[in-house]
Structure 1
Amino acid sequence: MAAATKSESNVELDPKYDHYDFPTTSIESREGYSGHLNAAQQAQVHQLRMMLESEGFAGQLDTLTLLRFLRARKFDVAAAKKMLVESDQWRNKMTILEVDDKATRGQQRLLSLDDKPLENPPEQPIKLEEMVRTWDKDGSFKRNLSKYYTQFYHKTDKDGRPCYFEKLGGIKFSELKKEKFTNDKMVLNLAVEYEKMVDPRLPACSRQAGHLVETSCTVLDADGVSILNPGPIYSYVQQTSTMSNSNYPERLGKMYIINVSKWYWGIWKVVSAFLDPVTASKIHVLSSSDYKAELLKQIPAENLPAAFGGKCNCEGGCELSDAGPWQEDEWKRPAWWEKDPSEATIENKPAEIVTADAAAAAEGETKVAA
């Protein structure tokens, strides 16, 4: 991150793109977060937006999105631009490939058309922003999937983050295959869930918390994950992790991996040594004997499902309740994907590019003149 003089001002919002109806000052008080930018970082936001505008970029150009991609690339503007452009391409060229050939079985994954699998690309790419409007509107996919794979959002932690729960060890891959739940369809479903976390869940949580909430609190239950047959689960986790890291950066607030066996501890010690220290500090690996007490330090007992050591027992089960501020009239608002697409259309026009160094120099000149 480039060194620069600190600025006490909050993040500068752009009225063209920043139509937020929730708090925009982050609870994270470190530099680089909304409301806590220095002069160079603020200039880098402008620079990134102007570079993208000059190329006719039609993706997301709001300030909070640009900041997340900049943080993910240590405020390297060129690297953040590349990441954002590639993510936008992914959003518009998602493809489901269902491979039946025995020679290619197990290679099922979300692809882009550029991959040209088997030199026979699928007929029609999926645009995520269109899919999120129509995917599983009646909830039948989620209800059926939950019989074999438990994953759900449920209420908030003590910092106001939405809580996400997933039982990795309980995934019945053989049953999923019989029911035609391919990896691709499950990953597509997870991508839609990410979109719904971004809106309406995070905005509703921000309104309730009174500060910007950009991240989730994730609980992954590893009970039942076997070292003897790691293939299916690790392949799926690798696929979903790649998708989330590449396209939803800076969304992890806290992660608890619970019911971890001794063999996993050795793997974690090796893996954590290669992680960015900030990322590693967000991940807590816990055994079956100590996870409940740790979860309750972060998640109120009345919000934590009883199955994970809390006191919540939603009618019909926490897994399908989708309980949280995003369901409460006081905090919820229509999500972007619930509105008419024409309402969100913004014409991107080229603008003059101002570098971080130039902006910092200009700030210095202004102070001298004063």
Structure 2
Amino acid sequence: MAAPPAPSPLELDPKYDDYDYPTTAPVPQNGHPGYLTAQQQAQVHQLRMALEAEGYTERLDTLTLLRFLRARKFDVEAAKKMFIDCEKWRKEIHLDETLPTWEYPEKEEVFKWYPQYYHKTDKDGRPVYIEQLGGIDLNAMYKITTAERMLTNLAVEYERVADPRLPACSRKAGVLLETCCTIMDLKGVGLTKAPQVYGYVKQASAMSQNYYPERLGRLYLINAPWGFSTVWGVVKGWLDPVTVQKIHVLGSGYQKELLAQVPAENLPKQFGGKCECPGGCEMSDMGPWREKEWARPPKWERKKQEGSAIPTEVSTIQKGADADAGTPAVAGATNEAKTGAAPAAA
């Protein structure tokens, strides 16, 4: 068995890197921040210079480039293509303009059919993301919202998990956290609903895999229906072994394994935990990103200030989320409960 890589300080670029949270991965892993080889660090510089030559100036920070490089096994040309495809997509949907002002007032109604939300953290300090797929009825949901709005909201929430959610978790944990712990509840997903459910999840997952790489920490598929394990046995043979290790397929007796990863006080009661947030866990959006000691306004919100004083108390995103969730405001920015999102890519 190979020895774990030796720690090596991350080489930062003052032009792009201005992190106010830890930049060393919690576990020694080759290719992860704090454990790069000299060649890998050089590949970060190579990728950045290649993108600058193409005219790109945004999102060229070291941690972002490393995620794209890891997603493409440190093939610089392949990582460059993935990055450029992502930037073209962002421009097509006007994501940078939409992000600071996006509102999703139909969230609570959509949740009646498809609850999707972040709720506290797992034992590693990562955000816990929960989806309940059994109630999906796209025909009913499209009377409340549109497919376009659902996908726009999905993109916005991926941005919000990157900042402010993960930075707050990293500050609290004292190490760099770049991934989430996802729980997908398949209870009620029968043969009649399967086409709707898996069709939407496939579409949402494509966004994750193509544009938000290296965000999956663990994925628990709970209440897996009869026959699912057989299908999974075939599918996992097509996946990267590293990804397979992150995915756990569980039936109705999932509580023991899930509670081994998520503290009972952080897991909603309906999944075997002890948490009962006022107004429902799915609307509370509780986590380090709402705790005064760890929360900070996201960078995209600070850019929106256009030279005005940077907020140090409650951000505009926080105020909006508090109005939605009915919870008291705290300092710093937040992500409102994620609607229209899928588990992040491995």
For the aligned pair, the TM-score class normalised by the smaller chain equals 0.7 to 0.9
Equivalent residue for 1:175, pick from 117, 140, 143: 140
- The yes-or-no answer on 1:270 pairing with 2:234 is yes
1:235-282 Cα deviation digits (max 9, x unpaired): 101100100000000000000000001211111111101100000000
How many aligned positions are there?
A: 302
Q: CA deviation at 1:32?
A: 0.2
Partner in structure 2 of residue 134 of structure 1: 101
Corresponding letter in the other structure for 1:260: A
Q: CA deviation at 1:7?
A: 6.5
CA distance in 2 between counterparts of 1:29 and 1:141 reads: 43
Partner in structure 2 of residue 92 of structure 1: 91
Aligned partners of 1:223 and 1:260 also within 8 Å: yes
Q: CA deviation at 1:130?
A: 1.5
User: What's the % identity of the aligned pairs?
Assistant: 57
Corresponding letter in the other structure for 2:98: M
Aligned partners of 2:190 and 2:225 also within 8 Å: no
Quickly say closer, same or farther: Cα 1:260–1:50, change in 2 above 3 A: same
Partner in structure 2 of residue 116 of structure 1: none
User: 1:1-370 alignment to 2 at 5 Å?
Assistant: 8-94=7-93, 127-136=94-103, 140-179=105-144, 181-289=145-253, 291-341=254-304, 342=306
Aligned partners of 2:7 and 2:28 also within 8 Å: no
CA distance in 1 between counterparts of 2:147 and 2:182 reads: 21
Q: Larger Cα Rg: Structure 1 or Structure 2?
A: 1
CA distance in 2 between counterparts of 1:229 and 1:212 reads: 39
Look up the SS of the partner of 1:193 in the other structure. Answer: helix
Aligned partners of 1:7 and 1:39 also within 8 Å: no
Aligned partners of 1:183 and 1:236 also within 8 Å: no
Q: CA deviation at 1:189?
A: 1.1
1:156-209 Cα deviation digits (max 9, x unpaired): 001110000000112122311222x23322122111111110000000000000
Aligned partners of 2:6 and 2:28 also within 8 Å: no
Aligned partners of 1:8 and 1:38 also within 8 Å: no
Q: CA deviation at 1:229?
A: 4.0
Q: TM-score normalized by structure 2?
A: 0.85
Q: TM-score normalized by structure 1?
A: 0.79
Partner in structure 2 of residue 108 of structure 1: none
Unaligned runs of 5+ in 1: 1-5, 95-126, 344-370
> How well do the aligned residues superpose, as a CA RMSD in angstroms?
1.3
Aligned partners of 1:14 and 1:63 also within 8 Å: yes
Corresponding letter in the other structure for 2:255: K
Look up the SS of the partner of 2:227 in the other structure. Answer: helix
Aligned partners of 2:166 and 2:177 also within 8 Å: yes
